[in-house]
Structure 1
Amino acid sequence: MPLSHDQITRFLKSVHPYDALPSDTLDDLANQIEVWEVEEGSPVYELGTTLPGIFVVYEGQVEITDENGAVVSHLGLRNSFGERGLLKDGKAATHAHAHTPTVLMVLPPNVVRDLIDNHDVVAKFFDRTRGERTSPQSLATSSIDTLMARSPAVCPPSMPVRKAAQMMRDRHISSLCISEGDKLLGIATLRDISGKYVADGMPESTPISTIMTPDPITLSPFDIGSDVLHVMMERGIGHIPISEGGKLVGIVTQTDLTHYQAVNSAELVRRIAHADSADEMALVTAEIPQLLVQLVAGGNRHEIVTRLITDIADTVTRRLLALAEKKLGPPPVPYLWLACGSQGRQEQTGVSDQDNCLMLDDSVTEGDMAYFAKLAKFVSDGLDTCGYFYCPGDMMATNPQWCQPVRVWREYFNGWIAKPNPEAQMLASVMFDLRPIGGTFDLFADLQADTLAAANANSIFVAHMISNSLKHTPPLGLLRGFATIRSGEHRNTLDLKHNGVVPVVDLARVYSLQGQLTEANTRARLKAAEAANVLSSSGARDLLDAYDLIAETRLEHQVRLVKSEEKPDNYLPPSALSDFERSHLRDAFVVVKTMQSAVGHGKGMLG
């Protein structure tokens, strides 16, 4: 079907990033676009062929498959494809064919490059790596949205001062916003109450409006910390209401600023290291969600954020071990406490349970085991108190199966490698992420090296581990390129853990196994796999870029929940994303799916 210039222009105005182009640029772009009509089942392009440009679906559906014929994505209205290959080397990185009768718009390569060179919004859209994050922000450059306390206490102007003072006392706050409906009328502080109401001996029935500061200066959530500091210094005030669209949405106080500066990972680690009980540590770990918000808002990359948060969990664990030894006495034999799961990989976010185990020196006796059972319970109970909840699968040192001498651990790993049934695959996957946390680290060194060598030498075990790594797949489907959860509490959302980061975590574990690499962290594994020639440079770069985007999206989702005073989780509704974000997230999932397909077809060296 031929499309008129006006039809093309109107359509492009509904597709990001072209909707942000100046009208004259958009008009010129419409003149240079080609329109293709592709019959159902016919190819759009084949793998390795020179791409004629970037495609945008105007009508119909396109199926994308990899070199092995595996479907990696279904694309529909407004979805674009072909850009990864075009911007990389000009060659198609996948196959594409029309799943239904389809109409496509084609943007020629010279047009795309010209748009990228001259329009930042287009350059940003096609930036696969998202670039380096900016350097961490200070209090002065942080967004007020990060600094402010939400849901500020409010009262009507008629409320008696005495009742208002009681309200402040009961809520442990130093100010009240006075409002009628959504309209902010004024603000009253404890200083106003003492300096006016008490000092002047006003009657008990005096309304709060009598002593309030009317029409207080307000700031927007989109202002920055320096604006708060400058207003406070210039006007000699300690409370600033925050409004958006004329509606009160928060307040910033001097206490908030102090708290913001105090909440950093080093300070939390210091307080935990000096705590005398799990309850004391729990008061500190309760600040982790706010730390998450600040780290992400401060421009830190996801691997830095998760590393700092994991460091806190490590400190909690070591402090609990020290307190356990103080209570129970010195251990009868050397031991090593290890973490697996996200803590083992140093990838904890705002949502974490505990996965851990104990390795004991082979000189341990049956009589000694009671000591380590008590130690395991003390530490695991303490971790639970601190918000690292008990593992639903009982992968904890409190389970006698995971509190054993090193010789038994050798038997475990040898058994899993020799007979890789589904349970063995699952256990091996968990235990290959082990990382020593506290105790005698030497107990693990030889065991790790020997296990990796034995696992790598057993081709059947490696094949089973590869198969196991493909059980979690990216959520690619028809609707906007995503397949959401279909039922239950998290219906119509994407599971950014099990269908987002876990597929990459599993791939990295396989590469680590193939290269006998000792790293546990996912990014470190991918880089080490590239260095060891287990993974090609282009494969490592693509997978790292995809992983970074998925992991960043997950953290940003958790931060949005924390800022809305909700519990962070991994379930993202696609509707929360812009077209720009959806497009890039979908492309990241396509990369992961393609890499899974390559590994599944026995291609460890990915190009």
Structure 2
Amino acid sequence: MRPLTLTAAATIPITEAARLMQQHSLSALFIGSPDRLEGVVTDLDLRNRCLAAALSPATAIKSIMTLNPLTIERSASVNEALYLLSSHQINHLAVVEQGQLCGMITSLDLLRLQSDHPLYLTVDIGRCQSHHELITLAQRLPKLQSQLTLFGHSAEHIHQTMTLLSDAITRQTLSLTLQQQGEAPTAWCWICGGSQARQEQLTYSDQDNALIIADGASESDLNWFQHFATTVNQHLAQCGYPLCSGRVMAQHRPWCRTLTSWQRQWQQWLTAPTLHSVAVAVNLLDARPLAGDLTLFESVWSPLSRDIARQERFLRYLAAHAVTCRPPIGFFRQLVVMGEGEHAEELDIKQGALIPLVSLARHRALALALAPLPPSTLNRLRQCESAGQLNREESIELQQAFHFVAKLRLRHHAQQIANAQPVDNFINPNHLSRWEMQHLKEIFLTLRQWQSQLSQHYSVAELS
């Protein structure tokens, strides 16, 4: 609990409330008086109800506050606080003693009490002395992801947290494997791709990775690295990150190359693109170095953002790839679900919404030679807005769409983890509220419009 007696009058302007929160490092401000709380305003309220709604900052704070904030007695147990926060899907509780405000407790406070807090887990990961220890520790990650979802953390925060842990597990797996296999014969760099590179990874996400090996490596050296990568990939799979069905992993020779070989491969992908080659290359258009000699990564990937923006033909094929996953919305605005089989009456939220969003943001950023690191979808959208290629309204609309769809997916995963079911991305629209279903339809329609614009601009239909 954080000791707190500060309150604010309901009539103060929003700017004054924001100043108080900044001055006292608060994520929430209680409105009223210590003995009579009228409402509460959180940092999310300032973003969603003020900034996103284009509300004047001179407006009275009462216009965006949540009425009658929940309170808990100072003598209550941690479990009681956890129950209130989770059952009401809120992140802040006013702590009272004899009817007077005396403090505040947040979902983050409770999370810090758990042994599964990310900071504790990253330390524990670095202390693992064997692959068995690491595999055992990784089994705690699904529970953590569910807790973060239950506590109402943003999708962006959950993605970053789970990726932070995935990065730590990958680095420790590399370290333990090197201890077993011996010193590498030459310099190398392990890179991750896909959702891990974008810092959007969740538990049970499959692997996308590759190896860059210093020039001059012999065939024997390449065999050593392939054996090394195979061992790493297998151990990561045991930690809960499945092997990639598309074989985009360092254990396979196309993804385990010398520096010069990688440079030649990218030159071929950029200058002689095909629908197939772009579908392969896209796996590492989102890439991030994790371990080894990072200068090897810089030598290959740093020039790419500039080179890609100059390759109109490659961008055209990349546009074609970006519109391959179509949002499941019909001509009459009805959701299109699976007709039969295991997922009858369900739709794939990843294929139907997340991948189109990721692909559109990627194409926009690469066409502008923007290269945020990490290359997250939200970072790319923000950079496109800063570059003037998206107006403020478009940027907010797409960012909010990403947050909404990602939270639906996280909530679905949390339910499956709680029920000890295999995790997938198929949701039943009939289980959504009326507002959620309507909002999902609007997102699908928006994505269809963006895909249509991209297709027309690059004459994608002529490529098929």
- TM interval, short-chain normalised: 0.7 to 0.9
Q: TM-score, length-normalised on structure 2?
A: 0.74
- 2:276 maps to 423
Greater shift, 528-537 or 553-562, is seen at: 528-537
Q: Deviations over 1:30-72 (max 9, x none)?
A: xxxxxxxxxxxxxxxxxxxxxxxxxxxxxxxxxxxxxxxxxxx
After superposition, the Cα gap between the structure-2 partners of 1:258 and 1:461, relative to the gap in structure 1 and judged at 3 Å, is closer
Is the CA contact 1:453–1:516 (under 8 Å) kept in the aligned structure 2? yes
Offset, 1:478: 6.2
Higher helix share: 2
Partners of 1:433 and 1:425 in 2: how far apart?
13
Is the CA contact 1:474–1:589 (under 8 Å) kept in the aligned structure 2? yes
Partners of 2:257 and 2:213 in 1: how far apart?
6
Q: Deviations over 1:59-105 (max 9, x none)?
A: xxxxxxxxxxxxxxxxxxxxxxxxxxxx999xxxxxxxxxxxxxxxx
Partners of 2:269 and 2:112 in 1: how far apart?
49
Offset, 1:332: 1.7
Pick the structure with greater CA Rg. 1
Offset, 1:315: 0.7
- The aligned runs of 1:483-522 (5 Å cut-off) are 483-519=336-372, 520-522=375-377
Is the CA contact 2:204–2:240 (under 8 Å) kept in the aligned structure 1? no
- 2:255 maps to 402
Q: TM-score, length-normalised on structure 1?
A: 0.57
- The aligned runs of 1:24-103 (5 Å cut-off) are none
- 1:554 maps to 409
1:541 aligns with 2:396: yes
- 2:120 maps to 267
Offset, 1:451: 2.2
- 2:293 maps to 440
Is the CA contact 1:143–1:225 (under 8 Å) kept in the aligned structure 2? no
| Identity over aligned pairs, percent | 27
State which of 435, 439, 451 in structure 1 corresponds to 2:304.
Answer: 451
Partners of 1:510 and 1:456 in 2: how far apart?
10
CA RMSD across the alignment: 3.1
After superposition, the Cα gap between the structure-2 partners of 1:441 and 1:118, relative to the gap in structure 1 and judged at 3 Å, is closer
> Is the partner of 1:141 in helix, strand or coil?
helix
- 2:453 maps to 598
- The aligned runs of 1:298-337 (5 Å cut-off) are 298-337=151-190
Partners of 1:293 and 1:141 in 2: how far apart?
17
> Is the partner of 1:337 in helix, strand or coil?
strand
Offset, 1:487: 2.9
> Is the partner of 2:114 in helix, strand or coil?
helix
- 2:429 maps to 574
Offset, 1:140: 5.8
Is the CA contact 2:131–2:176 (under 8 Å) kept in the aligned structure 1? no
Is the CA contact 1:341–1:430 (under 8 Å) kept in the aligned structure 2? yes
- 1:105 maps to none
Amino acid at match of 1:531: S
Q: Deviations over 1:172-207 (max 9, x none)?
A: xxxxxxxxxxxxxxxxxxxxxxxxxxxxxxxxxxxx
After superposition, the Cα gap between the structure-2 partners of 1:302 and 1:225, relative to the gap in structure 1 and judged at 3 Å, is closer
Partners of 2:317 and 2:111 in 1: how far apart?
53
Partners of 1:566 and 1:361 in 2: how far apart?
43
Partners of 1:120 and 1:259 in 2: how far apart?
26
Greater shift, 493-502 or 341-350, is seen at: 341-350
Deviating above 3 A after TM superposition, structure 1's stretches of 4 or more consecutive aligned residues are 117-121, 138-141, 221-227, 257-260
After superposition, the Cα gap between the structure-2 partners of 1:470 and 1:225, relative to the gap in structure 1 and judged at 3 Å, is closer
State which of 142, 151, 154 in structure 1 corresponds to 2:82.
Answer: 142
1:391 aligns with 2:244: yes
- 2:137 maps to 284
Partners of 1:360 and 1:302 in 2: how far apart?
35
Greater shift, 388-397 or 292-301, is seen at: 292-301
Q: How many residues align?
A: 374
Amino acid at match of 1:273: G
- 1:368 maps to 221
Gapped regions of structure 1 (runs ≥ 5): 1-86, 90-116, 122-137, 147-220, 231-256
Is the CA contact 2:89–2:151 (under 8 Å) kept in the aligned structure 1? no
Offset, 1:223: 11
Offset, 1:536: 2.9
State which of 202, 205, 225 in structure 2 corresponds to 1:352.
Answer: 205
Q: Deviations over 1:392-430 (max 9, x none)?
A: 111110001111011111111111111211221101211
- 2:73 maps to none
Offset, 1:521: 0.9
Partners of 1:225 and 1:360 in 2: how far apart?
47
- 1:150 maps to none
> Is the partner of 2:162 in helix, strand or coil?
helix
> Is the partner of 2:445 in helix, strand or coil?
helix
Partners of 1:362 and 1:350 in 2: how far apart?
35
> Is the partner of 2:210 in helix, strand or coil?
strand
> Is the partner of 2:303 in helix, strand or coil?
helix
Amino acid at match of 1:349: L
- 1:470 maps to 323
Greater shift, 325-334 or 400-409, is seen at: 325-334
Amino acid at match of 2:243: Y
Is the CA contact 2:89–2:152 (under 8 Å) kept in the aligned structure 1? no
Partners of 1:458 and 1:258 in 2: how far apart?
47
State which of 133, 149, 158 in structure 2 corresponds to 1:296.
Answer: 149
Amino acid at match of 2:242: F
Partners of 2:198 and 2:246 in 1: how far apart?
18
Is the CA contact 2:189–2:292 (under 8 Å) kept in the aligned structure 1? yes
Amino acid at match of 1:333: T
Is the CA contact 2:188–2:293 (under 8 Å) kept in the aligned structure 1? yes
Partners of 2:65 and 2:453 in 1: how far apart?
36
Partners of 1:400 and 1:224 in 2: how far apart?
49
Is the CA contact 2:85–2:151 (under 8 Å) kept in the aligned structure 1? no
